[in-house]
Structure formats: C-alpha cells, structure tokens
Amino acid sequence: MHDFIYNALPGKVVFGCGKLASVKEEVAAMNSGKALVLCTPEQRELAEQVSDLLGELSAGVYDKAVMHVPIETAHAGGDEASRVKAGCTVAVGGGSTIGLAKAIALHQGLPILAIPTTYAGSEMTPVWGITKDGIKTTGRDQNVLPETVIYDPELVTSLPGFITGPSGLNAIAHCVEALYAENANPIISMLAEEGIRAIARSLETAVNEPENLDARSDTLYGAWLAGASLGAVGMSLHHKLCHTLGGSFNLPHAEVHSIVIAYATAYNTPNAQDAIQRVARAMGCDKPEDAPKALHQLVKAVCNKTSLKELGMTEEDLDKAADIAASNPYYNPRPVTREGMRALLGDAFDGREPSVA
C-alpha cells in the first residue's frame, strides 16, 4: 500500500425524504443569527418556501445567483448580505447558488447551510470559483465549506431530464478525478468508486422516471460521495479543462463536465491503470480500457447534448482552449501537452467515441 495522508473534512449531513422541513432547526443550531436565502431567479419559489420555513430566522431571499460566479455577482451578493445584516446564508440550488454562497463566505466569513437541488457536489468541498474578465479562478479555503448540508431526494424529483443527466455525469467526473488525484488515499478511493457505482446504476432511471424516489435517492447519495471525494483531494486534467471551457467560453458547467469526462479518462488511462480499473469496475466493465467508452455510452443515454459543438463552441475556439489548458503546469497522471489537449478537445468537439492511446 502506498503512503498517504487523509484529512477528514468537517460538516454535518442530513439526508432523507422530507428533511427540508428541518432547515429552521439546523440554522438555529449554527448559532449565526438570521440567514439570507440564496438562489437563482428560476428557483425563487423554492427559496421563498425555505424562507417561510425559517420564519424569524430569515433575512430574506436573494435570487441573483448565476453560472460561474462572476465577480460582480459575488460583490452584489455580499452587499445584500451586509444590508440585511445576515449572519449566515442558506444556499438553495446547484453549483451556481452554492458558488455564490462560497464567494460571500470567502470575503465576509458567513457560514453556509446548503440545500442541493442538483448533483453538482459543490456543497461538500472547500473549493471556490470566481470568474473575472473571462477567466475563472479557483481555490481551496476551509471557510467556504458549508457547515451543514440537507439532502432531500424529494427536491430533485422536479429536476428535468436534460439537467439530471449532465448533473449526474458531473458528479461521476468528481469521483473519477478523485481516484487518480496526486493526494488520493484509500478512504476517498472507496467513496469515489461507490459514488460512480451508485450514480451509474440509477441515473438513466432518474432521467426517465423523475418521480422515482429510489433512483433519486441513489443518485443524490452518489453525488454526496462525489462531492466529499473531490473536496478531500486535488483536481487534475478534467476539471482544469472544464474550468477553461466554462470560464473562458461561457459554456454550461454540468454539460461541459458530462461531455469531457470520457475523453479525459481515455487520455489518462495509460498512466492511471489502477484508478481507471476502479472506474471500470464501478461501471460494470472488465478492463480499464473499456471505462471511457462506458462513460461515453452513459452520456449518450442520459444527455441531450453529447459534443462541445452542440454546446455552442466553435472550431476556432479549440486552439485557444488547448493553449490555455497547456499553459499552466498542474498535476495530472499523464503529462499535459498542447498537442494532446488539441486532440482531446477535437474529439470532444465532434462527440467521437473516445479511444485510449
């Protein structure tokens, strides 16, 4: 067994159908005063419901969260928290809303209670991201890790299939990267493999039968494991590529992750055989070399868009994206080259079946 260091991340998880009703009790337990409820404009109704459940502990609803957390949005959210004298935030939604809560926590120290309504996994990580001048910057800070997370499978039954599929693949991507992370360890590897298995076996049912609470519970459970895995270890090629594509070309977060993961896995397979063997096992494959194709097949089964071209990227963007991805050295099992990134992005642009070189 390899040497390793494992740091358990603090935090309370409340999991189960109907657990949204416990939000007031959980905010009170945080002992941070009134909470500003954050959401996107589309989730205003649910945020209002949460605000009503909070009663006198609500400082109001702020519905300006947007994708990739532009710095202007982060500043405006912080200003609103100060205006209403909030002592904490309740983030109701996916990665955009939880990202806004993290940006506020980063600059103002307000603790977070997260109520995920997607499978993004951000609620379990100390990773923040803010976009400025078209470049998304990420970092890690324990102060942005939510203190409490309420997982209620009933809240994701209304998640449409075209969001459920990419969001679930996004969570699988977190698990895959955790398996070959520079600081991977046996505990996180067990969580990550189980996370892939739970989502892979239930995601197609969740897409086709959105009211199926067993499938929704399974996928949400997998997303929790995915977020916890990603939060405990570092990120590599897949996430760096997706942050480039999202921050620099404004492509949708989950959809980018769902498309890129098969190609990033194929790229890394020759240099991360043990990790990719775990992916293959969780996906029901016999060999590591089969894992990228299995991921690609799942994408085709649950996602409406399966290529970067369909997301609105242009062929002219590919060279710039390859330049950005290869410009800053970072850990990855296989060395990141400009040529390799251009080939990977070309395959993802056309949605071709991934191949292991």
| Residue 1: predicted pLDDT | 57
Asked whether residue 127 is assigned to any structural domain, the reply reads yes
Provide the residue range defining the domain that includes 345.
161-350
What value does the mean pLDDT of the chain take?
Answer: 94
Same-domain pairing of 99 and 204:
no
Mean pLDDT of 82-104: 97
Record the pTM. Answer: 0.88
Whether 242 and 266 share a structural domain: yes
Query: How far apart (Å, rounded) are the C-alpha atoms in residues 102 and 128?
Result: 6
Residue-level pLDDT at 231: 87
Q: Tell me if 169 is assigned to some domain.
A: yes
CATH at residue 193: 1.20.1090.10
Q: Which pLDDT does position 203 carry in this prediction? A: 98
Residues 188 and 106 in one domain: no
Which of helix, strand or coil describes residue 354? coil
Q: Pick the closest to residue 23 from 60, 63, 61, 50 (CA basis).
A: 50
Examine the domain organization and report whether 190 and 303 are in the same domain. Answer: yes
pLDDT for position 310: 96
Question: Based on the domain organization, do 180 and 71 belong to the same domain?
Answer: no
pLDDT bracket for residue 6 (50, 70, 90): confident
Say whether both 21 and 100 belong to one domain: yes
The residues facing 127 across adjacent strands are: 140
CA distance 127 to 141: 7
* Six token digits for residue 207: 């897409």
Confidence of residue 220 (pLDDT cuts 50, 70, 90): very high
pLDDT at 7: 80
Could you tell me if 93 and 38 lie in one domain? Answer: yes
User: Are 304 and 176 found together in one domain?
Assistant: yes
Beta strand segments in 289-350, E:
none
Rounded distance, CA 141 to CA 125, Å? Answer: 9
Within a domain: 294: yes
Q: SS3 of 336, please?
A: coil
The answer to whether position 60 is within a domain reads yes
Q: Would you call 343 exposed, middle or buried from its count of C-beta atoms within 10 A (0-12, 13-18, 19+)?
A: middle
The arithmetic mean of pLDDT across residues 15-32, rounded, is 98
Cβ-contact 195, 215 below 8 angstroms: no
Domain boundary among 104, 128, 156: 156
**Cα–Cα distance measured from residue 55 to residue 36, given in angstroms and rounded to the nearest whole number:** 12
In a domain, 150, yes or no: yes
Distance CA 208, CA 108 (A): 42
Of 102-116, 218-232, 244-258, 270-284, the range with the lowest mean pLDDT is 244-258
Interatomic CA distance for residues 28 and 313, integer angstroms:
45
Asked if residue 357 is part of any domain, the answer here is no
- Reported as a single tens digit per residue, the pLDDT across 314-347 is 999 999 999 998 987 789 999 999 999 999 999 9
pLDDT at res. 82:
97
> Quick one: average pLDDT of 217-228?
96
Tens of pLDDT, residue by residue over 50-68, are 999 999 999 999 999 998 8
Name which of 98-112, 123-137, 300-314, 339-353 the model is least confident about.
Answer: 123-137
State the average pLDDT over residues 172-188. 95
Domain boundary among the residues 132, 156, 180 is at 156
Average pLDDT in the 11-38 region? 97
172 and 139 in a common domain = no
> How many independent structural domains does the chain possess?
2
Q: At which residue do the structure tokens 């046996």 appear?
A: 186
Any domain includes 356: no
CATH number of the domain within which 91 lies: 3.40.50.1970
What pLDDT is recorded for position 173?
A: 95
Q: pLDDT by residue (tens digit) across 114-161?
A: 999 989 888 999 989 999 988 888 898 999 999 999 999 999 999 999
Q: Are 146 and 92 within 8 A, CB to CB?
A: no
The stretch 196-221 carries a mean pLDDT of: 97
Domain boundary among 121, 156, 191: 156
Q: Are 258 and 303 in contact (CB under 8 A)?
A: yes
Could you tell me if residue 6 is inside a domain? no
